[in-house]
């Protein structure tokens, strides 16, 4: 059993220090549950164990119109049998190039490794070692009606 959320649309991340705007798409979200049927002959009983997990899946892109750099990212879902959860692969492209100058693989919530076209291999990022940074958001009264926190304030209130 599973439930999927297909994220449509795009987001924009702005790096003010460099005057760069990145347009990005989002992965899909899945809540999965595998039912394992176990028959216990000694007690003549039947039992179903469930192992739920949440994962990301699908293809995303990141593009910068100013620099021309882009990235193609794939969030791999766990296969039904075997495999690992939270896998990610990505390719980063220079402007006007069809061949990536960097390929990335690993876990999106763990360690990702980079392999550069020069042959160099390195840790790209270790998300477990990254510090947590508190978000900076405008006060609700300063937000427009359709800005995320203003739009979802009633849902957030009721969830709390």
Q: What is the CATH number of the domain that holds 86?
A: 2.40.160.120
pLDDT, tens digit, 9 for 90 and up, residues 46-84: 545 567 778 899 999 999 999 999 999 999 998 877 788
Number of domains in the chain: 1
Confidence (pTM)? 0.74
From residue 13, alpha-carbon distances to 10, 21, 63, 84 in Å are 10, 6, 10, 30
Which residues are CB-contacts of 122 (< 8 A; sequence separation ≥ 6)? 113, 114, 116
The distance of Cα 52 from the centroid of its chain, to the nearest Å, equals: 18
State the residue range of the domain holding 72.
2-159
How many other C-beta atoms are found inside a 10 Å radius of the C-beta of residue 106? 20
Backbone dihedral region of 45: left (phi > 0), alpha (psi from -120 to 50 degrees) or beta? beta
- pLDDT, residue 48, reads 54
């Amino acid at each position: 059993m599973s439930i999927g959320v297909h994220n449509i649309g795009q987001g924009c991340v702005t790096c003010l220090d460099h005057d760069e705007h990145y347009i990005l798409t989002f992965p899909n979200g899945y809540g999965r549950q595998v039912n394992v049927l176990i028959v216990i002959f000694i007690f003549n009983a039947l039992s179903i164990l469930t192992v739920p997990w949440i994962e990301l899946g699908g293809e995303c892109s990141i593009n910068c119109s100013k620099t021309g750099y882009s990235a193609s990212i794939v969030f791999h879902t766990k296969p039904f049998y075997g495999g690992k959860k939270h896998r990610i692969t990505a390719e980063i492209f220079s402007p006007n190039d069809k061949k990536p100058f960097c390929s990335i693989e690993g876990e999106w919530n763990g360690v990702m490794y980079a392999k550069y076209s020069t042959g160099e291999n390195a840790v790209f990022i270790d998300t477990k070692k990254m510090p947590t940074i508190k978000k900076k958001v405008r006060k609700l009264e300063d937000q427009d009606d359709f800005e995320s926190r203003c739009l979802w304030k009633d849902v957030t209130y009721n969830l709390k």
